Amino acid sequence: MAVQQDLATGAGLAVASAPMPPPRSEVGVIGWLRHNLFSSWSNGLLTVVALYLIWKLIDGILSWGIIHAVWSGEDGSACRVEGSGACWVFIKAKIGQFIYGRYPEGERWRVNLVFILACAGLVPLMVPRIPGKAWSAVYTFFIFPVIAFWLLTGSASGPGAGPIDLMGLCLAIVATVAFALSRSSSARVPPQTLRLAGGVCLVLAYPLLVRWLLSTSGLVDLRPVATELWGGLLVTLVVASVGITGSFPVGVALALGRRSRMPFVRWASVGFIEFVRGVPLITVLFMASVMLPLFLPAGVSFDKLLRALVGVALFAGAYMAETIRGGLQAIPRGQFEAAQALGLSYAQRMGLIILPQALKLVIPGIVNSFVGLFKDTSLVLIIGLFDVLGIVQLNLTDAKWFANSTAMTGYVFAALVFWVFCFGMSRYSQMIERRLAAGDRR
């Protein structure tokens, strides 16, 4: 009030009633520059240094990657010229290998089809706006893996393996019996237990039955392709996706085991987790490739890729377990007790009450583990599998393409592939995190 009266008595009432605009130097581009880049002498100096660095970086990238780069040619002769930049023609010539490895050229459509089918499952599952999540999940986790396995290996064709078919048949029969029994009220075992057992048997039986059907009908005859021929992006994606889907249940089981009230279960989980987390992945892979054949009875041998998959999944599972344990510890005791008071069984308590809350809490950690696992897939080259990095490294020894810049070009390509996937995963998790947190943010 006093101020207003003062102003009213003063001369400039009309001017003062509208607030004065801030000084020119405090707003707009100049104000932003002053505040963010030149707020003090030392800050100004830093800005100049940063500008110089950025100029150097952009100049280096442009002149190496575009201006002096080699875009065409038949071999590395153009890249051997003094002062030439990236040898992109090397990537162009080898791109087939980088994506498929030594997969036979006539059969590469099968890999493409698997990529397309994977996208068909993952896109509806991952984009929140698309409805029908349950069906996409069933497709992605039950139907797609079997089709992909059959397409990639082509193992469904060829002579049938008797015992495996028989096992599939037995499992299917058990599942049918269990479902039939769960209908009749006279059974001593509760119907939900029977239905659960039937479901498990059915899930196990179904891929075996599909295999049997495909091999006996002889409708589609695919040429078997040994996993030794797989390579490049195909191997990276197979190892990463199997590792991710395999490590998750392993991690959940180990985390629950570590929090269990049964002492022996707890000790076994702690021992496994701490052992695996204490050693480098290389030694685990060495163990899978060198020691596993010794552990098996004579004559039994595992595929090399499968050995790496088991190693990666178990390794990542131990890390996953620690992340999930963090989430479990953050759930208040009351939630456990309330679930118990409602008379829920252990599986129901965990599956319906505790895990949904705990997993939501640790999504960033879980995705971090996934990103770590994706990067770790590059280590399989040490035991002689050729992922993206491995196949690039292999092709660098090609004398036809020998040049000073070839190595860097190949690595930049591989780095871009890894970066796109890892960065994409972390950005996607941030989006999901925001969506899930929407309920807490009112």
Partner 1 sequence: MAVTGIAARAPRRTPSLLDLLYRPEVRQVLFQIILIIALAALFWMIISNTAANLRRQNIASGFGFWNTTAGFDISQTLIPYTNTSTYGRVFWVGLTNTLLVASIGIVFATMVGFIMGIARLSTNWLIARLATVYVETIRNIPLLLQLFVWYFAVLKTLPPPRQSLELVGGAVLNLRGLYLPEPLPQPGFQIPLAVLALGVLASIAIAVWAKRRQRLTGAQFHTGLAALVLIVVLPAAAYFLAGAPLEFDYPTLRGFNYTGGIVVLPEFLALVLGLVIYTGAFIAEIVRAGIQGVPKGQKEAASAIGLSTGQTLRLVVIPQAMRIIIPPLTSNYLNLIKNSSLAVAIAYPDLVSVFAGTVLNQTGQAVEVILITMLVYLSLSLFTSLLMNWFNARMALVER
Stretch that binds partner 1, among 63-71, 148-156, 220-228, 295-303 (CB under 8 A): 295-303
Question: How far apart (Å, rounded) are the C-alpha atoms in residues 178 and 193?
Answer: 9
User: Of the two residues 122 and 407, which places its CB atom closer to partner 1 in the complex?
Assistant: 407
Residues written for the chain: 442
262 lines the binding site for partner 1 (CB under 8 A): yes
Stretch that binds partner 1, among 44-52, 91-99, 140-148, 202-210 (CB under 8 A): 44-52
**Measured from the CB of residue 96, what is the shortest distance to partner 1 in angstroms?**
21
298 lines the binding site for partner 1 (CB under 8 A): yes
Q: Identify the residue among 100, 103, 401, 418 touching partner 1 (CB under 8 A).
A: 418
Q: Identify the residue among 156, 313, 376, 391 touching partner 1 (CB under 8 A).
A: 376
290 lines the binding site for partner 1 (CB under 8 A): yes
Stretch that binds partner 1, among 70-78, 168-176, 276-284, 348-356 (CB under 8 A): 276-284
Q: Identify the residue among 16, 31, 43, 153 touching partner 1 (CB under 8 A).
A: 43
Residues between 377 and 396 that touch partner 1 (CB under 8 A): 377-379, 381-382, 389, 393, 396
Q: Identify the residue among 37, 126, 222, 229 touching partner 1 (CB under 8 A).
A: 37
371 lines the binding site for partner 1 (CB under 8 A): yes
Nearest 10 degrees: CA dihedral of 170, 172, 174, 180?
-150
295 lines the binding site for partner 1 (CB under 8 A): yes
Nearest CA to 201 out of 186, 179, 184, 225 is that of 179
Q: Identify the residue among 30, 95, 296, 342 touching partner 1 (CB under 8 A).
A: 296
Angle subtended at Cα 103 by Cα 100 and Cα 107, rounded to the nearest 5 degrees: 105
**Measured from the CB of residue 36, what is the shortest distance to partner 1 in angstroms?**
4
Question: What burial class does residue 2 get, using C-beta atoms within 10 Å of its C-beta: 0-12 exposed, 13-18 middle, 19+ buried?
Answer: exposed
CB 222 within 8 A of CB 154: yes
Question: How far apart (Å, rounded) are the C-alpha atoms in residues 278 and 213?
Answer: 45
CB 348 within 8 A of CB 295: no
341 lines the binding site for partner 1 (CB under 8 A): no
| Two tokens, residue 258 | 């570590």
Q: Identify the residue among 22, 96, 280, 384 touching partner 1 (CB under 8 A).
A: 280
54 lines the binding site for partner 1 (CB under 8 A): yes
DSSP 8-state secondary structure symbol assigned to residue 15? H
| Two tokens, residue 329 | 């510890």
Residues between 72 and 91 that touch partner 1 (CB under 8 A): none
User: Of the two residues 48 and 137, which places its CB atom closer to partner 1 in the complex?
Assistant: 48
Q: Identify the residue among 161, 172, 196, 268 touching partner 1 (CB under 8 A).
A: 268
Question: How far apart (Å, rounded) are the C-alpha atoms in residues 282 and 312?
Answer: 10
User: Of the two residues 147 and 265, which places its CB atom closer to partner 1 in the complex?
Assistant: 265
- Extended beta strands in 153-296, E state: none
User: Of the two residues 46 and 164, which places its CB atom closer to partner 1 in the complex?
Assistant: 46
Residue with tokens 């002492």: 263
Residues 6+ apart with CB under 8 A from 425: 367, 370, 371, 374
- H or E element that contains 432: helix 406-436
CB 382 within 8 A of CB 282: yes
User: Of the two residues 103 and 418, which places its CB atom closer to partner 1 in the complex?
Assistant: 418
Q: What one-letter code names the amino acid at 401?
A: W
| Two tokens, residue 336 | 């456990």
Nearest CA to 118 out of 92, 149, 89 is that of 149
User: Of the two residues 104 and 293, which places its CB atom closer to partner 1 in the complex?
Assistant: 293
**Measured from the CB of residue 258, what is the shortest distance to partner 1 in angstroms?**
14
Distances (CA, A) of 345 to 192, 340, 342: 12, 8, 9
- List interacting residues with partner 1 (CB under 8 A): 36-37, 39, 43, 46-47, 50-51, 53-54, 188-189, 261-265, 268, 275, 277-283, 286-287, 290-291, 293-298, 371, 375-379, 381-382, 389, 393, 396, 404, 407-408, 411, 414-415, 418-419, 422-423, 426
